[in-house]
């Protein structure tokens, strides 16, 4: 009988929840998130933080997302783009030095192919940009988690699409641009680096979109072909948590997205994330159009410290 009870107790001894143990990829660490306009929108970051706080209310979260619209990791830009696209490498050193993260998450690729057909030179610069990002993050002592690019849905762009021999841009994308993102994704997944984790958003989202279109041809969670709506951001967060915290149950986008809009914790998390993202984005600085680091608005680290102090009033922990 004693042996039987011991057998029953052994699993319990080694199955302490996260609230009982100081563990977790994102908990009790400073997490910095880079990306383009999808990350600057930040809804998926809000969903990630909300579900982690909901499931582990006793654990500390410190997530800073500083996505920047139009940004790339390879410095590429269309000839007819209204301004040179910003490149994360112009602000990477500053961000790593000022934020001092333990974990860095980054999602690049959508803009890096500059909406054209396969181009060997562009693809090689994308690889170099990712390798450089990986090297810099490693040198800082942080762990890097790469998110593969999301999806390009040609459906909403049908009147603007261009064939292979025509000129392409974000206004007139290549009609098979998602195949370029397939290539970026497959390469990211092939990187052999023990210290690097890759979360495959691209292949996770593709069958979901295909299923939606099989029911209704114009169904999509990417209403302009590039930027996910709230349901799309929910799915991005779901894949991230499936990989990092598989025990967290998020459910389906509908009706959850609608329900969360009136959830007091969600409202608080979203408000906090937006304030913090804006403050850190400006403090770290960036180059876009004629914009450089906004020293006149956020001149010193004191401003960010003041922001974090203000955030304590909104702190859920």
Higher pLDDT, 238 or 303: 238
Write out the CATH class of domain 25-314. alpha beta
Query: What pLDDT is stored for residue 296 in this prediction?
Result: 45
Query: What pLDDT is stored for residue 24 in this prediction?
Result: 79
> Would the pLDDT of 120 be above 70?
yes
> Would the pLDDT of 280 be above 50?
yes
Query: What pLDDT is stored for residue 6 in this prediction?
Result: 35
Cβ atoms of residues 35 and 6 within 8 Å:
no
User: CA torsion angle for 44, 107, 65, 278 (degrees, to 10)?
Assistant: -100
What is the rounded average pLDDT of the residues 224-228? 98
- The CA distance from 310 to 317, in Å, is 14
Work out the mean pLDDT of the chain and round it to a whole number: 88
- Domain residue extents for the chain: 25-314
pLDDT in tens, 57-108: 999 999 999 999 999 999 999 998 999 999 999 999 999 999 999 999 999 9
Query: What pLDDT is stored for residue 31 in this prediction?
Result: 98
Buried b (16+ CB within 10 A) or exposed e, 272-306: bbeebbebbbbbbbbebeeeebeeeebeeeeebee
């Amino acid at each position: 009988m004693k042996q039987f009870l011991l057998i029953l107790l052994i699993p319990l001894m080694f199955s302490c929840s996260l609230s009982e143990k100081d563990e977790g990829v994102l908990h009790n660490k400073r997490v910095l998130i880079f990306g383009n306009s999808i990350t600057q929108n930040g809804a998926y970051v809000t969903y990630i933080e909300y579900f982690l706080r909901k499931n582990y209310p006793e654990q500390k979260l410190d997530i800073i997302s500083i996505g920047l619209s139009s940004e790339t990791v390879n410095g590429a830009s269309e000839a007819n783009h209204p301004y040179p696209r910003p490149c994360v490498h112009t602000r990477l050193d500053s961000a790593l030095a000022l934020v001092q993260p333990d974990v860095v998450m980054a999602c690049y690729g959508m803009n890096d192919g500059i909406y054209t057909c396969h181009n060997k030179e562009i693809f090689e610069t994308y690889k170099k940009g990712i390798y450089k990002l990986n090297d810099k993050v490693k040198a800082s002592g942080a762990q890097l988690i790469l998110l593969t690019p999301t999806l390009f849905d040609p459906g909403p762009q049908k009147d603007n699409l261009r064939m292979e021999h025509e000129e392409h841009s974000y206004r007139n994308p290549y009609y098979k641009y998602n195949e370029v993102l397939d290539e970026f994704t497959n390469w990211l997944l092939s990187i052999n680096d023990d210290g690097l984790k890759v979360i495959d958003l691209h292949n996770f989202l593709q069958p979901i979109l295909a299923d939606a279109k099989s029911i209704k041809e114009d169904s999509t969670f990417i209403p302009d072909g590039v930027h996910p709506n709230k349901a799309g951001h929910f799915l991005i967060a779901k894949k991230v948590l499936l990989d990092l915290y598989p025990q967290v149950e998020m459910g389906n986008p509908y009706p959850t997205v609608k329900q969360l809009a009136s959830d007091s914790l969600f409202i608080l998390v979203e408000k906090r994330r937006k304030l913090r993202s804006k403050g850190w984005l400006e403090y770290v600085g960036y180059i876009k159009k004629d914009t450089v680091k906004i020293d006149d608005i956020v001149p010193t680290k004191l401003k960010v410290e003041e922001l974090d102090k203000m955030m304590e009033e909104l702190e859920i922990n």
